[in-house]
Chains A and B, each alone.
Chain A
Amino acid sequence: MTAFEWARNTSVYRSIIRHGVLPTNRNRSLIIFENLFLHVHPVKVRERSLRFTHTYWLGGITLASTLILVATGVLLMFYYHPSVPQAYRDMKELQYVVDDGVFLRNLHRWAAHLMVIAAFLHLLRVFYHRAYRPPRQFNWVVGVVLLIVTLLLSYTGYLLPWDQLAFWGVSVGTNMAREAPLIGERMRFFLLGGNVVSENALLRFYVLHCVVLPVALLLLVSVHIWRVRKDGGVQGPPEEGARRRAQGADRDVAETPSAPRPLRPAP
Chain B
Amino acid sequence: MLELDETLDDSGETRRDFFTRIGVGACAVAAVGSGVLTLDYLEPKVLFEPSTTFVAGSPRDFTDGVVRFNREKKAYVIGGPTGVYALSAVCTHLGCITRFKSDERVIACPCHGSRFDLDGGVVHGPAPRPLPWLDVAEDANGNLVVDTGIVIPRGKVFRP
Hey, which bits of chain A sit against chain B, CB under 8 A?
168, 171-172, 175-176, 189-190, 193-196, 198, 200
Contacts and interface: CB of A to CB of B under 8 A. Distances in A.
B43 interface: yes
Given A193-B44, A200-B44, A172 B49 contact: no
B49 A171 contact: no
B26 interface: no
Given A195-B49, A196-B49, A198-B49, A190 B43 contact: yes
B66 interface: no
Interface in B29-49: 39, 42-44, 47, 49
Nearest to A186: B43
B27 interface: no
B94 A194 contact: no
B96 to A, nearest CB: 7
Contacts of B23: none
Interface of B: 39, 42-44, 47, 49-50, 94-96, 111
20 contacts: A168-B96, A171-B94, A171-B95, A172-B94, A172-B95, A172-B96, A172-B111, A175-B94, A176-B94, A190-B39, A190-B42, A190-B43, A194-B47, A194-B49, A195-B49, A196-B49, A196-B50, A198-B49, A200-B44, A200-B47
A195 B95 CA distance: 12
Contacts of B47: 194-195, 200
Contact of B44 (A168, A171, A194): A194
Contacts of B96: 168, 171-172
A163 to B, nearest CB: 16
A196 to B, nearest CB: 6
Contacts of B50: 196
Given A196-B50, A200-B44, 19 more contacts: A171-B94, A171-B95, A171-B96, A172-B94, A172-B95, A172-B111, A175-B94, A175-B95, A176-B94, A189-B43, A190-B39, A190-B42, A193-B42, A193-B44, A194-B44, A194-B49, A195-B47, A195-B49, A196-B49
